[in-house]
Chain A
Amino acid sequence: METQIKSKENFNPRIVAFLCNWCTYTGADLAGVARMKSSPSVRVIRTMCSGRVDPTFVLKAFKMGADGVMIGGCHIGDCHYSEGNFKTLRRVEFLKIMLKDFGIDPKRLRLEWISASEGDKYAHVTNEFEKELRELGPLVLQE
């Protein structure tokens, strides 16, 4: 993702979404197949489990120009690897505290549990996230 000069006018948020293979990615697929309107700002990266998402990935996404990062996983109790998403929920809680200390609004990081059958939830969540990011404006990091 190339770094561009971002301006407030004519701002299209860039969302990086790490989606788990078993639930949310399939849910996103369903949203597409069912022709639901979902945000075109989302760049999807498929991971085998939401627990695979290292906090480094999130920081790197922000550094490389993302305005928001979304992590999608199976509902608690439904993880394909039984407890991967428990690790995710603790990491995201932790990362939000770190982001706040870094001076980045923690709302720019979003965790959602979306199952393979919840295409409508995927569409709703991404649209809502895009709207929130539009209100927050572009993330311009200082060096």
Chain B
Amino acid sequence: MSKPKLALYWASSCGGCEIAVVDLEAKILDVAGFFEIVLWPCVMDFKYKDIEALPDGDITLCLFNGAIRTSENEHLAKMLRAKSKVMVAFGSCAGDGAIPSLANFYDKDSIYEYVFKTCPSLEESSRGVYPETKTTMPEGEIEIPVFWETVKTLDQVIDVDYYIPGCPPQTFQIAAAVEAVIDILQNGKPLPPKGTVLGAGDKTCCDDCTRVKSEKKIKKFYRPQDIITDPEQCLLEQGIVCMGPATRNGCEALCMKANMGCRGCYGPPEGVLDQGAKMVSALSSVIDAQNPEDAKKIIDTIADPLGTFYRFSMASSILRRVQKKNNK
């Protein structure tokens, strides 16, 4: 019997998810032994046309990381969906948009303007040269992918079976998920219900955090560089914006162990539609103010609340993007 086929693809992503897979160390040999890897552009040389030539549903498992930002990302997502039996949104970019979807604070024109015209590190000769999607060369016409206005999550363009959140997903969680998949395939066990979040819990990060938590009354928020924090006490109580209350657990509270507030990378917990809105709700309950003026003063000490609360979930949030300036 031939081996089940595995595809790993990166769309709009940083490559951190690939590193997390490679961090499986010796276990990666089990993966390579069990599966036939048919696509992994970061690590090995494959051609898209070979994937296109496969029959539909031929790939058993596809781990897709990265958000959908260009026409190429969307094309590959649709192609891999057709060719794969099980599609997994791997990492926070594919699941919630994450860092690439911070581009949804801007639009294509303003991003192009900065990147190709006003950015200080541009060489003078290339300043103001914008990319053309189609260019005619002596050898013929060449094309580059089209850049979308709005970054999307994977499940906004194709049907997704499972999610493995994290930026990147923790290696021990990937190992557990991969072992579970191998177990299911080898022993003919049933697959978990569609839409299941694998490799993470269904509570919040606070649930895993070992810091001492007492009643919270916050008078001022600090940026991490402005304060020396107590290593035992809840960071939120000390005025550090910690996304723990609005973030899914699964990382074993790594950032808090390193004296940093949770950044929110595992995305919203089970049943939460909008991570940022939940964070507004959580912080509003602990701000020590009895009138709107005091509340505003305290909230104004948070640097960039929108960017902080939606750092990892702008594309999957209810509003999905910041409205353009001409819109009310």
CB distance from A23 to the nearest CB of B (A): 18
User: In chain A, residues 68-97, which have Cβ atoms closer than 8 Å to a Cβ of chain B?
Assistant: 76, 86-87, 89-95, 97
- B120 an interface residue at 8 Å Cβ cutoff? no
Q: Interface range on chain A: under 10, 10 to 19, 20 to 34, or 35 or more?
A: 20 to 34
- A143 an interface residue at 8 Å Cβ cutoff? yes
With A87-B284, A103-B323 given, is the CB distance from A60 to B273 under 8 Å?
A: yes
> Which of A39-47, A51-59, A123-131 lies at the binding interface?
A51-59
Cα of A54 to Cα of B246 in the assembled complex, Å: 13
CB distance from B71 to the nearest CB of A (A): 17
- A30 an interface residue at 8 Å Cβ cutoff? no
- A62 an interface residue at 8 Å Cβ cutoff? yes
User: In chain B, residues 283-328, which have Cβ atoms closer than 8 Å to a Cβ of chain A?
Assistant: 283-285, 287, 289-292, 295-296, 299-300, 305-306, 309, 317-325, 327-328
Interface pair A54/B322, CB less than 8 Å apart: no
Interface pair A55/B280, CB less than 8 Å apart: yes
With A97-B299, A102-B306, A143-B321 given, is the CB distance from A90 to B274 under 8 Å?
A: no
User: In chain B, residues 165-184, which have Cβ atoms closer than 8 Å to a Cβ of chain A?
Assistant: none
Query: Which residues on the B side are within 8 Å of A55 (C-beta)?
Result: 274, 277-278, 280-281, 284
Residue of A nearest to B288 (CB): A90
Cα of A56 to Cα of B275 in the assembled complex, Å: 9
Query: Which residues on the A side are within 8 Å of B319 (C-beta)?
Result: 59, 62-63, 102, 104, 141
Interface pair B322/A102, CB less than 8 Å apart: yes
Interface pair A139/B273, CB less than 8 Å apart: no
- B150 an interface residue at 8 Å Cβ cutoff? yes
Query: Which residues on the B side are within 8 Å of A98 (C-beta)?
Result: 276, 280, 305-306, 309
Query: Which residues on the B side are within 8 Å of A139 (C-beta)?
Result: 328
Cα of A137 to Cα of B319 in the assembled complex, Å: 19
| Residue in B150, B309, B324 whose beta carbon sits within 8 Å of that of A103 in the complex | B324
Query: Which residues on the A side are within 8 Å of B284 (C-beta)?
Result: 55, 87, 90-91, 94
Cα of A93 to Cα of B296 in the assembled complex, Å: 6
User: In chain B, residues 228-286, which have Cβ atoms closer than 8 Å to a Cβ of chain A?
Assistant: 272-274, 276-278, 280-281, 283-285
- A136 an interface residue at 8 Å Cβ cutoff? yes
Interface pair A56/B305, CB less than 8 Å apart: no
Query: Which residues on the B side are within 8 Å of A140 (C-beta)?
Result: 327
Interface pair B322/A143, CB less than 8 Å apart: no
CB distance from A41 to the nearest CB of B (A): 17
With A63-B318, A139-B328, A142-B321 given, is the CB distance from A56 to B278 under 8 Å?
A: yes
Query: Which residues on the A side are within 8 Å of B278 (C-beta)?
Result: 54-56
Query: Which residues on the B side are within 8 Å of A54 (C-beta)?
Result: 277-278, 281
Interface pair A142/B327, CB less than 8 Å apart: yes
CB distance from A58 to the nearest CB of B (A): 8
Cα of A59 to Cα of B320 in the assembled complex, Å: 11
Query: Which residues on the B side are within 8 Å of A9 (C-beta)?
Result: none
With A94-B284, A95-B280, A137-B328 given, is the CB distance from A101 to B318 under 8 Å?
A: no
Interface pair B306/A141, CB less than 8 Å apart: no
CB distance from B83 to the nearest CB of A (A): 28
CB distance from B283 to the nearest CB of A (A): 7
CB distance from A94 to the nearest CB of B (A): 5
Cα of A41 to Cα of B295 in the assembled complex, Å: 31
Cα of A56 to Cα of B290 in the assembled complex, Å: 22
Cα of A120 to Cα of B84 in the assembled complex, Å: 62
Residue of B nearest to A64 (CB): B318
Cα of A137 to Cα of B328 in the assembled complex, Å: 8
Residue of A nearest to B274 (CB): A56
With A55-B280, A56-B277, A97-B305 given, is the CB distance from A90 to B287 under 8 Å?
A: yes
Can you list 24 pairs linking A and B with CB atoms under 8 Å apart?
A54-B277, A55-B274, A56-B272, A56-B274, A56-B277, A58-B277, A59-B277, A59-B319, A63-B319, A89-B295, A90-B285, A90-B295, A91-B280, A93-B299, A94-B295, A94-B305, A97-B296, A98-B309, A101-B305, A101-B322, A103-B324, A136-B328, A142-B327, A143-B150
